[in-house]
Amino acid sequence: METTCFFCKKEFTIDYSDDQYLKIKKNPQARYVCKNCNRSMQQEAQQSTGLNPDTIDKYDKFFR
């Protein structure tokens, strides 16, 4: 399936192995974010907040 990254506007061919494949297949109007842009946003969020997702997951177990 062909799709375009919402942020970098590059074209990508995705298949069932991509985490967002089902979302795009069910709703072709849904926004796709490529792995590079996704990683970049996560790193920026970690740097600006000082939070690490692994740490959050570790403490999240106590609140479920």
Q: Identify the pLDDT of residue 57.
A: 67
Cβ atoms of residues 3 and 24 within 8 Å? yes
pLDDT of residue 12: 96
- pTM of the predicted model over 0.85: no
* Residue 32: how many other CB atoms lie within 10 Å: 19
- Which residue, chain included where needed, has tokens 């494949």? 21
Task: Name the residue among 37, 31, 32 with its Cα closest to residue 18.
Answer: 32
Domain span at residue 37? 2-63
Under DSSP, the state recorded for 19 is T
Total domains in the fold of the chain: 1
What averages of pLDDT result for each successive group of 10 residues across the chain (64 residues)?
A: 97 95 95 95 87 69 64
Residues facing 11 on adjacent strands: 4
Q: What is the pLDDT of residue 54?
A: 72
